[in-house]
Amino acid sequence: MAKTIIEKIWEQHIVFEEPGKPDLLYIDLHLLHEVTSPQAFEGLRLNGRKVRRPDLCFATMDHNVPTRNRSVIKDPISRKQIKTLQENCDEFGVPLAGINHPDQGIVHVIGPELGLTQPGKTIVCGDSHTSTHGAFGALAFGIGTSEVEHVLSTQTLWQSKPKTMEIRIDGELGFGVSAKDVILAVISKFGVDMGTGHIIEYTGEAIRNLSMEERMTICNMSIEAGARAGLVSPDETTVEYLRGRRNVPEGEAFEKEAGRWLALATDEGASYDVSHTIHADDISPFVTWGTNPSMGSGIAESVPKAADYDKQEDKDALRQALAYMQLEEGAPLSSIAIQHVFIGSCTNARLSDLRAASEIVKGRTVHPSVTAIVVPGSETVKRAAEAEGLDQVFLQAGFEWRETGCSMCLAMNEDAVPAGERCASTSNRNFEGRQGAGSMTHLVSPVMAAAAAIEGHLTDVRNYMKEPVPSA
């Protein structure tokens, strides 16, 4: 019978199954960070348990780390959390890329970079954006701290088999449209809970044509559609990304592994519980105007009006969102002034994101009323960007060039947007207070963020780009 990649990976990882119970699934890779792990390690200690497979774990510090001066963590509680992860990793033998390690970075950026993320693996982390790793055709999902403890102790999880959902993007993406716009458009069209109880597979021509980094951006935000995980079937793009990376086999062993990876792709004729299709032509550069990721529109549009909605609860939700966002119904999106720009996060802080943003910024100047920062996704990204001179492009334009970390995506460190101020952000969540108490977030792609930094308000980046001349 034709199967989806989701079913194939699931079946390969069943340790124990019994009718009326969730399946006991084996976990191939467990990523850890400082915020959601301390209570799990403490639980092990209290019960005299050990980490079953430290060799299948990998830890880093990203949520709390400072992006200005690495050696100064002002907040004593942050400092304690970081120190606690170091001590836990030492005690339990878990590999760690600590704060000054050359591999340090946002956990969802470094997993793929190091070749730890591979097709067919089950991957978990105490972080909802673990869905990022699905770009490789891995079954990757976020878990809570009790589950972190469970995986540390048993290398398994009890999981009820989710339903499958196909999101198909047909056609070719238009000029100036990036992966971020695709996923924001999907969530806007189908809602923040469309994926609840499902694992999404992204398919279609537009997805096939994306690089691995772009696929990561899309899979990253699967959780913002409520899905447990989102993935893309492996293809040659996947194989070529992984070739030569640390932690993947070499030579003939790699070719053999690559063959196994490619065989995981969804079979022709396999069916999904739910399928949705969007045509790439219908997607334009996107911005959010509300307080969840589904509250967004194309940049040429305006803030919706309560009259646009039929249901009272939707009218109420719009009013609540606009009250928080200090926006009027019907205001053109391109009229919204911003005071901050954040280029960073596990969604959009990879080398290709920084390259794309730098193309817009090159030779231009950040608007005087805007504070703009670039926070590379990892030390590796930072080094590569600096080798290409991207740091200089950003610095000369008036951006700050920072150390790596989660930073202003959730403002657990000192990088916060002040109350009452607005940020064009390449991150993944525009929830109330996400970037700092009272702050207002507009989610955008890296190029849209770059253009907003220059203009001082949300703007259509296509005005900054040369449309490619079609070849004869």
Q: If binding is defined by CB under 8 A, does position 414 make contact with another protein?
A: no
423 marked ligand binding residue: no
Nearer to another protein, 166 or 224 (CB): 224
User: Binders of another protein among 165-224, rule CB under 8 A?
Assistant: 192-193, 196-197, 223-224
Kind plus residue range of the DSSP H or E element containing 76: helix 76-92
Dmax over CA atoms of the chain, in Å, equals: 70
Q: How far apart are CA 184 and CA 220, in angstroms?
A: 11
Q: How far apart are CA 230 and CA 183, in angstroms?
A: 11
> Binding residue for another protein (CB under 8 A) from 67, 164, 203, 292?
292
> Binding residue for another protein (CB under 8 A) from 45, 80, 101, 243?
80
Q: How far apart are CA 428 and CA 140, in angstroms?
A: 17
> Binding residue for another protein (CB under 8 A) from 105, 119, 120, 126?
126
Q: If binding is defined by CB under 8 A, does position 26 make contact with another protein?
A: yes
In the complex, least distance from residue 355 CB atom to another protein, rounded to whole angstroms = 29
List the one residue out of 218, 212, 272 whose CA is nearest residue 243. 212
Nearer to another protein, 197 or 332 (CB): 197
Are 289 and 336 a contacting pair, CB within 8 Å?
A: yes
471 DSSP 8-state letter:
P
> Binding residue for another protein (CB under 8 A) from 410, 423, 447, 450?
410
In the complex, least distance from residue 291 CB atom to another protein, rounded to whole angstroms = 9
Q: How far apart are CA 272 and CA 383, in angstroms?
A: 42
Nearer to another protein, 26 or 302 (CB): 26
Nearer to another protein, 110 or 151 (CB): 151
> Binding residue for another protein (CB under 8 A) from 93, 144, 259, 332?
144
In the complex, least distance from residue 49 CB atom to another protein, rounded to whole angstroms = 7
406 marked ligand binding residue: yes
Q: If binding is defined by CB under 8 A, does position 4 make contact with another protein?
A: no
Q: Characterize the bridge pairing of strands 286-288 and 296-298.
A: antiparallel
Question: Can you read off the two tokens belonging to residue 242?
Answer: 């992984």
> Binding residue for another protein (CB under 8 A) from 113, 127, 213, 391?
127
Q: How far apart are CA 286 and CA 181, in angstroms?
A: 5
Q: Characterize the bridge pairing of strands 156-159 and 23-26.
A: antiparallel
User: Binders of another protein among 46-75, rule CB under 8 A?
Assistant: 47, 49, 52, 63-64, 75
Stretch that binds another protein, among 17-25, 89-97, 239-247, 343-351 (CB under 8 A): 17-25
Nearer to another protein, 152 or 356 (CB): 152
Are 31 and 58 a contacting pair, CB within 8 Å?
A: yes
> Binding residue for another protein (CB under 8 A) from 105, 134, 137, 142?
142
Q: If binding is defined by CB under 8 A, does position 78 make contact with another protein?
A: yes
Write b or e for each residue in 78-103: b if 16 or more Cβ atoms lie within 10 A of its Cβ, otherwise e.
beebbeebeebbeebebebbbbeeeb
Interface with another protein: number of residues (CB under 8 A): 66
Q: If binding is defined by CB under 8 A, does position 150 make contact with another protein?
A: yes
Nearer to another protein, 11 or 281 (CB): 11
* DSSP strands (E only) in 332-415: 340-343, 371-374, 400-401
CA 274 centroid distance within chain: 23
Q: If binding is defined by CB under 8 A, does position 269 make contact with another protein?
A: no
List the one residue out of 343, 294, 293, 324 whose CA is nearest residue 461. 343
Are 342 and 375 a contacting pair, CB within 8 Å?
A: yes
Nearer to another protein, 6 or 210 (CB): 6
Q: If binding is defined by CB under 8 A, does position 154 make contact with another protein?
A: yes
Cα torsion 20, 26, 31, 35: sign: positive
In the complex, least distance from residue 223 CB atom to another protein, rounded to whole angstroms = 8
The DSSP bridge partners found for residue 401 are 374
Kindly list the distances between the CA atom of residue 256 and the CA atoms of 112, 113, 172, 260, in Å, as whole numbers in the listed order. 20, 21, 32, 6
Give the residue numbers of the binding site: 346, 406, 409
Binding site for another protein (CB under 8 A): 15-16, 20-22, 24, 26, 35-36, 38-39, 42-43, 47, 49, 52, 63-64, 75, 77-78, 80-81, 84, 126-128, 141-147, 149-150, 153-156, 158, 160, 162, 192-193, 196-197, 223-224, 226, 228, 292, 313, 317, 320, 410-412, 419, 429, 431-434, 437-438
